[in-house]
């Protein structure tokens, strides 16, 4: 029995070693590729969201003058309604003071003429 016969499976084979290293490298590359695909998908989703936000901002910028005009009209209308309410409250207060003055005048005239 020669040592070559017993230790033949343990003999170094450069081709097998190279193939084993390459298989490990391919496995590593496939894992990296899967991770890069996940990252790419996340970036694409973020990009889609940014595009939607950009579109929304553009639409808002285009409609901003109309919104500002409408808000100004509503503010002017509300101010006019408030002034109108205030005028009637002033008129009621003035009428109440005037009627109190007339009543006081009538009381004084009634006391003097007695």
Give the max Cα distance, the chain: 158
- pLDDT of 45 reads 92
Q: Determine the 3-state secondary structure of 11 from DSSP.
A: coil
Angstrom distance (rounded) from CA 18 to CA 23:
9
Structural domain spans, the chain: 14-86
- pLDDT of 111 reads 85
pLDDT tens-digit readout, 14-41 = 888 899 899 999 999 999 999 999 999 9
What is the rounded end-to-end Cα distance, in angstroms, of the chain?
158
Angstrom distance (rounded) from CA 3 to CA 6:
5
């Amino acid at each position: 029995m020669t040592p070559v016969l017993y230790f033949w499976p343990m003999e170094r084979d450069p081709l097998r070693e190279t193939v084993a290293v390459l298989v490990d490298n391919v496995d590593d590359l496939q894992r990296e590729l899967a991770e890069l695909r996940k990252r790419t998908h996340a970036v694409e989703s973020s990009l889609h969201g940014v595009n939607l936000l950009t579109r929304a901002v553009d639409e808002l910028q285009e409609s901003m003058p109309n919104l500002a005009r409408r808000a100004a009209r509503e503010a002017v209308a509300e101010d006019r309604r408030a002034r109108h309410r205030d005028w009637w409250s002033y008129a009621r207060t003035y009428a109440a003071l005037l009627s109190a003055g007339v009543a006081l005048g009538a009381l004084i005239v009634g006391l003097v003429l007695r």
